[in-house]
Structure formats: C-alpha cells, structure tokens
Structure 1
Amino acid sequence: MTALQERKYGQWFRGADVDGDGFITQRDVRMMSERYIAARGAAPDSATARTLTEGMDGFWANVIAPMDQDGDGKIDLREMTEGFRRALTDRARYPEQIEPVTDCFFDLADLNGDGRIDRAEFQQMYDSVAGVPGEDCAAVFAALDRDGSGALDRAEFHQAVAEFFYGDDPDAPANHLFGKFAG
C-alpha cells in the first residue's frame, strides 16, 4: 500500500465514522442508512427504506465487520487500513471484492432511478450522507464525468471507485471521491 492510498483510505474512514468517535461501528453504518433514507425522502417503514437498510447491513457484515481484528465490534483506522491492505491486493479482483458494493451505492445515489447519477443527485447524496461540502462535490463531479454528459453512468462510477481504492496516481480525480484532500 502506498502513502497516497493510505491517505485516501483515511479520508474514506473519516466519512464512514458518522458519529466522529474514531471508530466505524454498526451504528455508524445504520446512521448512514438513515441518511440515505432521509435523502431519498422515503418513509422509515417503506420498502425503499427496508432495501436500503438491508443493503447497508450487508455492507457492514460483509465488508466492514470482517476488519475487526480484536473482536470489539469497532473498527479503528488501523484495522480498516490493514483490512484494505489485505483485501485490495489485486485490481483484477475488483468484480468480486468491490463491484457489488459499488453497484449498491450507485443505486443509492441514483435517486430518480434513471441509471445515471446527475450532479444534483451526486451532491445531495455526498453532502447529506458523507458530509462532503458542496463546492468539493461540484469539482469532483466535473472531474469524474469523463464524457462530459452531465451525469455519471455506472461505468464511470465504477471507474472512479476502482481508481480510488486501487490507484496511486496523485492527480487522479477519483482521489477526492470521498472529499477533497491534499494529494
């Protein structure tokens, strides 16, 4: 793992640590679910809310919880970084390791279900859910919209996520996918 990847993973960790206590817990993931549900304007007992909650519970169980090395139910930055270091060793494994989670997040951000994430959807989801400031969202979105269509299709979104987790180019636009930081 390179120093750049470690900094990017730290940025991701800060966004996933919703309550800011220095750990990612199932409660943080549940709070993310609640924010996604609120951003979509869905009632807490709706089918949409249940689907989102189930998806995020799966994200906790299959991606985050296995990183808990000491069994305390909390993942600190070291555990998360080591978990990524162990899991993300080969970009060729993206389809099995990250693609299913990325598809879930794409569907969460695609608020109108048209198969594209437009700038407003991107900003709404990242601002309200991940706490990424609006001006950062606009700049990141513009850089990720590689074809200039005004929306991210699923392929562009996958390219950005793969670039974020596996890439080591300090100038890659996806470095800022979860908030701007000094590369």
Structure 2
Amino acid sequence: MASELQRRKIGVVFTGMDADGDGFLEESDFRALAARWSAVRVAGDPERLAAIMLGWWATLLAASDVNRDGKVTVDEVLTVVDRLPGMREAVTATADAMFEAVDENADDLVSPGEYGRMIEAWSGKAPGPEVFARLDTDGDGSLSRAEFADLWFEFWAGDDADAPGTQIFGPLAA
C-alpha cells in the first residue's frame, strides 16, 4: 500500500498530467502536456517529445488501467507504484526516455534551464535554483543520464522524503 509520501508525490505528477482536471488521465492529457512542454522549450524536436509522452501514456495505460476503460485514476497509478521498488530496470527505462525529452540540445546532460522548462510545463511555474542544486548530487552543474535515472527511481519507487529524487518534479507541497 502506498505511503502518504508516495501519494503526495504521485498527486503532484498526476495533477500536472491531468490537463482537463477531470480526475482521469487519458491520451489527450499526454498530448496536452507535450504541447505545453513544447511551447516553453528553446530547442528540441516537438514531434519527438510528443512521441516520448505518448509512449509513456501507452506504458502507463497498459500497467495501470485496471478496469480497461481507457482512463487512469490516481488510485490505479498508485497500484503500479507499489510494485516499482522491485522493477528498477523498467523504471529506469522510462527515465531514459524522459531524459531524452528533457535534454533539448542532445548533449547528454540536463542543464538547470532544461530542467526548469520541464517543471514549468508540468506545474505552470519554474522551480527555484535550489531545487536543481539539490538534484545535482555531484555538484557539476548538470544532471547526467545516470544521475537522472537514480533520481527518477527515487521518485517513483522511493519512500524517503529527504531523498533528492523526491523533488524531481519540483518541491512537494507540505
């Protein structure tokens, strides 16, 4: 059963993805997220971003749409989260796809600006520099693919409020 922290984390992501606010995730929500994200990006291929987001939607739908109605509720997402700690390879595979989406200039690093634009697309506001500094665990000013995968796994499968990955989608509301 998902902890309160996991519910809060998933709630942040779910709210960011639920473009029409109807309490369900559908393909149209992922298309809307890709469009919002493309609108704030300074580089990168919008079609590739849309393909990544729709791939994430297909994966989420297959894994969590328990009643097969073509919609995903937050509770359905949480049933998947309970299984993720033992699925590191599957979780980091989604991290790799998301890394490609965030890395606008394809330099194999995520800069503070690239990260900020991702969060702006999800939440409508860019995070402060202190959030990226917390994520940048080696302090080199960027996130490598490996760092991003570790943070992504911490977010989706972890249950530690103090872990840097807890904030990969921005700060959690108290």
Q: Report the TM-score range of the alignment, normalised by the length of the smaller protein.
A: 0.7 to 0.9
Q: Deviations over 1:12-63 (max 9, x none)?
A: 2112212222111110011122223333457xxxx93333222222211122
Secondary structure of the residue aligned to 2:159 is coil
Matched, 1:94 2:88: yes
Partner of residue 36, structure 1: 37
- CA contact under 8 A between 1:67 and 1:80: conserved in structure 2? yes
Partner of residue 126, structure 1: 119
Q: Whole-Å Cα distance in 1 between the matches of residues 160 and 146 of structure 2? A: 19
Mapping 1:13-162, distance limit 5 Å:
13-40=14-41, 48-85=45-82, 87-90=83-86, 93-95=87-89, 97-127=90-120, 129-131=121-123, 133-134=125-126, 136-162=127-153
Q: Whole-Å Cα distance in 1 between the matches of residues 112 and 6 of structure 2? A: 26
- Per-residue deviation, 1:138: 2.2
- Per-residue deviation, 1:64: 3.1
Partner of residue 178, structure 1: 169
- CA contact under 8 A between 2:151 and 2:165: conserved in structure 1? yes
Aligned partner of 1:29: which letter? F
Q: Whole-Å Cα distance in 2 between the matches of residues 148 and 35 of structure 1? A: 29
- Per-residue deviation, 1:3: 2.4
How many pairs were matched up? 173
Matched, 1:167 2:158: yes
Taking every aligned residue pair, what percent have the same amino acid on both sides? 36
Matched, 1:12 2:13: yes
What 5-or-longer segments of structure 1 have no aligned partner?
none
- Per-residue deviation, 1:151: 0.7
- Per-residue deviation, 1:89: 4.2
Moved >6 Å (runs of 4+): none
Aligned partner of 2:84: which letter? L
CA 141–110 in structure 1, closer or farther in 2 if over 3 Å, else same: same
Q: Whole-Å Cα distance in 2 between the matches of residues 132 and 103 of structure 1? A: 24
- Per-residue deviation, 1:158: 0.9
Aligned partner of 1:131: which letter? S
- CA contact under 8 A between 2:100 and 2:106: conserved in structure 1? yes
Please provide the CA RMSD for this pair. Answer: 2.1
- CA contact under 8 A between 1:132 and 1:179: conserved in structure 2? no
